[in-house]
Amino acid sequence: MPETQLPLSRYTVLDLTRARAGPTAVRQLADWGANVIKVEEPGQADGDGGPFDKRHGSDFQNLHRNKRSITINLKSTEGLALFKRMAGKADVIVENYRPGVKHRLGIDYETLSKINPKLVYASISGFGQAGPYKDRPGLDHVVQGMSGLMSITGLPGQGPVRAGIAISDSSSGIYCAFGIVLALLEREHSGKGQWVQTSLLQAMIAMLDFQAARWLIEHEVPPQAGNTHPTAIPTGIFKTSDGRIAIAASGDMYERLCRALGALELVTHPDYLDFKLRAKNRDALHARIDTYTEKRTSAEWIEALNKAGVPCGPIYTIDQTFADPHVKQMGMARPVNHPALGRIDLVGQGVTLSRTPPQVRTASPDRGQHTDEILGEMGYDAKAIADMHARGVV
């Protein structure tokens, strides 16, 4: 599909983000065709082995695909003027500085919206743009603890456990991208931009969803439930003769599970007759189910239980996930060519549109790779561009 036909191809986005949450938001826009210009500091060293600055590493390449890069010294008068000129023509700016930084640089929403009233300006921070914690440094690990996520993750009695991904970063990035698209849609009616705000903490609490509602509505503090589901029973990880499988058989699927296991006595057992009894006696029930699942291999149970209409699947390592034939057909590994790395595979999008699917078109850029190209689009000639390089403006 031509890039100009992608859903967001008519929008230009200035990307001031770093780390993970902000780049995740911008990646959503870039994959759907937005003209993303990554604005970076000139003269910075890349490839130092750090978790976010290793430009040719897997994380950076996955986060910053489909973008172009320009270097601008925002602390210089001319560099700031150049950025404001770009902001006057842009549709979206995304930043994830600490709240005070953008004001010190003079690139905050209030300032830039006077130049471009149609501008959609998006901010992500650890704790938001207001409140007693707004100036604290916010990282996923800290927010997983503050949000309550660690208290419900892990085995009962184990103590707080971190989720295996930077989930507050990813969640806030996706919420931010959703907010940006909402603001662009609203702009079609009002003709005005607005300030889109989220934070790692706000997004993570929203992602707690039913666990948060258990407290807000029922005043129940959810405990750790380990590999079992906190409310759907029986749901858990069960032993087989050659490994473990995941089974989810709550509600009317319970009897289907018992029949498929050849365990009809569990249907009529007085300890498991209804949901409340199964919840009360969950550990004992799971132990009984183990005695049946241990008799056959994982592959045999996965086939038999799915045929019976009981959700069941393997417990994969990441390499096994991407080797699965269904995952391959989904196209979750997206190939792209990098001038130094050659062909690499990046992680696909989490949603597909039938006529305008997302595209991984270009690898992540080197720092300042497109500076001259973008300045030319802004109307600067070769002499002016060379002069800005010489004076350290770009």
194 pLDDT band, cuts 50/70/90, is very high
> With 80 as the cut, is the pLDDT of residue 8 above it?
yes
Report the alpha-carbon angle 86-24-81, nearest 5: 15
382 pLDDT band, cuts 50/70/90, is very high
List strand residue ranges (DSSP E) for 288-378, in order: 312-314, 333-338, 342-347
> At the fourth CATH level, which superfamily is domain 235-315?
formyl-coa transferase, domain 3 (3.30.1540.10)
List, edge to edge, every strand of the sheet that includes 235-240: 235-240, 243-248, 312-314
Asked if 14 and 370 count as a contact pair (C-beta separation under 8 A), the reply is: no
The region, left, alpha or beta by phi > 0 then psi within -120 to 50, assigned to residue 154 is: left
CA 71 to chain centre: 26
* 169 labelled catalytic: yes
Beta bridge partners of 342: 338
Asked if 69 and 52 count as a contact pair (C-beta separation under 8 A), the reply is: no
303 pLDDT band, cuts 50/70/90, is very high
Q: pLDDT above 70 covers what percent of the chain?
A: 96
Residue 313, φ and ψ in degrees, nearest 5: -160, 170
Whole-number pLDDT of residue 229: 87
pLDDT tens digits, 84-134? 999 999 999 999 999 999 999 999 999 999 999 999 999 999 999 999 999
For all residues of the chain together, what is the average pLDDT?
A: 95
> With 80 as the cut, is the pLDDT of residue 45 above it?
no
The region, left, alpha or beta by phi > 0 then psi within -120 to 50, assigned to residue 18 is: beta
pLDDT tens digits, 170-193? 999 999 999 999 999 999 999 999
Q: Which of the residue ranges 11-15, 203-207, 356-360 would you say has the lowest mean pLDDT? A: 356-360
Average pLDDT over residues 73-77: 96
Q: Which two tokens stand for residue 225?
A: 């439930």
Average pLDDT over residues 346-353: 96
189-201 per-residue burial string, b: 16 or more CB within 10 A, e: under 16: eeeebbbbbbbbb
Catalytic residue among 108, 169, 290, 372: 169
Q: d(Cα 375, Cα 377) in Å, to the nearest integer?
A: 5
Q: d(Cα 287, Cα 282) in Å, to the nearest integer?
A: 9
List strand residue ranges (DSSP E) for the chain, in order: 12-15, 35-40, 67-71, 92-95, 120-125, 195-199, 235-240, 243-248, 312-314, 333-338, 342-347
> With 80 as the cut, is the pLDDT of residue 49 above it?
no
Query: How many secondary structure helices (H) and strands (E) does the chain include?
Result: 19, 11
Whole-number pLDDT of residue 43: 81
Average pLDDT over residues 36-63: 80
Fold classification of 3-208+330-390 (topology level): Rossmann fold (3.40.50)
Beta bridge partners of 37: 14, 68
54 pLDDT band, cuts 50/70/90, is confident
Average pLDDT over residues 48-68: 82
92-123 per-residue burial string, b: 16 or more CB within 10 A, e: under 16: bbbbbbebeebeebebbbeebbeebeebbbbb
In three-state secondary structure terms, 240 is strand
Whole-number pLDDT of residue 328: 97
230 pLDDT band, cuts 50/70/90, is confident
Q: Where along the chain do its domains lie?
A: 3-208+330-390, 235-315
Residue 192, φ and ψ in degrees, nearest 5: -120, 145
Q: pLDDT above 90 covers what percent of the chain?
A: 94
Q: Which two tokens stand for residue 29?
A: 């826009």
